[in-house]
A = this chain, B = another copy of it.
Amino acid sequence: VGGYFLRATIRDVAKLANVSTATVSNVITESKFVSDELRAKILESMRILGYEPNIVARSLKINKTFRIGVIVPDITNPFFSEIVKQIETTIDAAKYQLILCNSDYQVETEVKIYNSFIMGGGVDALILVAPRMTEQQLDGDSRLPTVVVDRPAFKTSKEIVFVYTDNYVGASMMASHLLSKDYLRFACIAGPESVPNANMRFTGFRDRLMQAGVEKDDIKVIRCEFSFDEGYKAMTEILEDFNLTERTAVFVSSDIAAWGAIEAAHAKGLEVPKDIGVAGYDNIYFANFINQGLTTIENPTKLMGEQAGHAILDLLNGKGAVPGHAIILDSSLIVRKTV
């Protein structure tokens, strides 16, 4: 269609330079020594023909694509986009490219994408960010080196490495902080039950509270997706049920949903933290500016992305191939102004 010319192949170059394709290949890959004379002639021929190696043919031959599949719930979520960006930066340095897929928070979609990767090939490895599929599925018939980010490790026989923070501990730090601020009633806007870390956050929070003597009835739970809208809705619901006669705090299990929750409180004419306390989780970039500064738990996205990138690179280079290896990063309490 209109104006496209045929690409030169290695054979065209070889012919023009009067050498064999093997020699051309050797100057391209720098895998063998080629005399200066020939090398110059070949380079010149390549220039004349505008030759660039066909990456697909090479991939087929060497059985390596230099591409890594990344599955993420939603690239639009700042928490995930930070991670992806860092992954990209890290693997780019090693000449790998990233194939990005959104699962849209749907397990079925995630599994579909996952299967198409592990079966179809076309990538050398896989990075799964906050995956929701079952451990069995993850431990299934993949032949690909895999790193799982932001999900607790589990026992596996596969070449999987896990990069995450201890969300149970994080959530209980937040609970302690809330306790120290003299809140009496609590709500948790927790993430979906299909997300292991959402459950870690909820149980970490609740356990710490109950351990401090808070009654179960004084801890309301509501589940929602990790999004602004759902956080907004969840908070609206809570506000309808709850009478705020006692000092109450809401722990929302992601900053983005916490932001939505805060706006929902505003919409009801409530001030944060005066009328109700709201805490988040993740410490996304913007957290610092949500409602003058959202109190939250640091979930080190950059570090996670970086570690995930390095981990996958290691796996690809045959290092760090301990099945189920876990890289556990630190998280910490970030006290700001919403609680």
Which residues of A are in contact with B by a Cβ distance under 8 Å?
A: 1-5, 7, 50, 52-57, 59-60, 65, 67, 74-76, 78, 81-82, 84-85, 88-89, 92, 97-102, 119-122, 141, 143, 157-159, 228, 259, 263, 285-286, 289, 318, 321, 323
20 contacts between A and B (CB under 8 A): A4-B143, A5-B143, A52-B121, A54-B120, A54-B121, A56-B60, A57-B60, A67-B99, A75-B84, A75-B85, A76-B82, A78-B78, A88-B101, A89-B102, A92-B101, A98-B100, A99-B100, A228-B285, A259-B289, A263-B289
Q: How far is the CA of A5 from the CA of B81 in the complex (A)?
A: 34
Which residues from B are CB-within-8-Å of A88? 75, 100-102
Q: Residue on B with the closest CB to A288?
A: B263
Given A55-B122, A75-B85, A120-B55, answer yes or no on A157-B100 (Cβ-Cβ < 8 Å): no
Nearest-CB residue, chain B, relative to A4: B143
Q: Report B-chain residues with C-beta under 8 Å of the C-beta of A57.
A: 60
Chain B: CB-nearest residue to A289: B263
The answer for the CA separation of A65 and B57 in the assembled complex, in Å, is 11
Residues of B contacting A82 with CB < 8 Å?
Answer: 76
State in angstroms the CA–CA spacing of A93 and B323 once bound together: 35
CB-based contact A98/B97 at 8 Å: no
Docked pose: A7 CA to B89 CA in angstroms: 31
Give the distance in Å from the alpha carbon of A157 to the alpha carbon of B50 in the complex: 19
Question: Complex: how many Å from CA A323 to CA B102?
Answer: 32
Additional 13 contacts, C-beta under 8 A, given A52-B120, A54-B120, A99-B100: A1-B318, A2-B323, A3-B158, A3-B159, A7-B121, A56-B60, A67-B99, A75-B84, A81-B81, A89-B102, A97-B99, A98-B100, A99-B99
Q: How many whole Å from A211's CB to the nearest CB in chain B?
A: 35
Residues of chain B with a CB closer than 8 A to A78's CB: 76, 78
Residue of B nearest to A158 (CB): B3
Residue of B with least CB distance to A69: B97
Compute how far the CA of A79 lies from the CA of B7 in the bound complex, rounded to whole angstroms.
Answer: 36
For A2, the chain B residues whose CB sits under 8 A away are 159, 321, 323
CB distance from A221 to the nearest CB of B (A): 25
Contacts of A159 in B (CB 8 A): 1-3
CB-CB under 8 A from A141, the residues of chain B are 50
Cα–Cα, bound, A119→B4 (Å): 13
Instruction: A285 to B75: give the CA distance in the assembly, Å.
Output: 13
Give Cα A158–Cα B82 distance, bound, in whole angstroms: 35
CB of A201, distance to nearest CB on chain B (Å): 23
Chain B residues positioned under 8 Å from A92 (CB to CB): 101
Give the Cβ gap from A237 to chain B, nearest Cβ, in Å: 19
Q: What residues of chain B lie closer than 8 Å to A119, measured between beta carbons?
A: 52
Task: Please tell me if the beta carbons of B89 and A81 are within 8 angstroms of each other in the complex.
Answer: no
Complex Cα–Cα for A92 and B285 (A): 29
Give the chain B neighbours of A65 by CB distance below 8 A: 56
Tell me, in angstroms, the Cα distance from A259 to B286 when the chains sit together: 10
Distance between Cα atoms of A1 and B316 in the complex (Å): 10
**Distance in angstroms between the alpha carbons of A93 and B282 in the assembled complex:** 32
Min CB–CB distance A55 → chain B (angstroms): 4
Q: In the bound complex, what is the Cα–Cα distance between A84 and B92 (angstroms)? A: 19
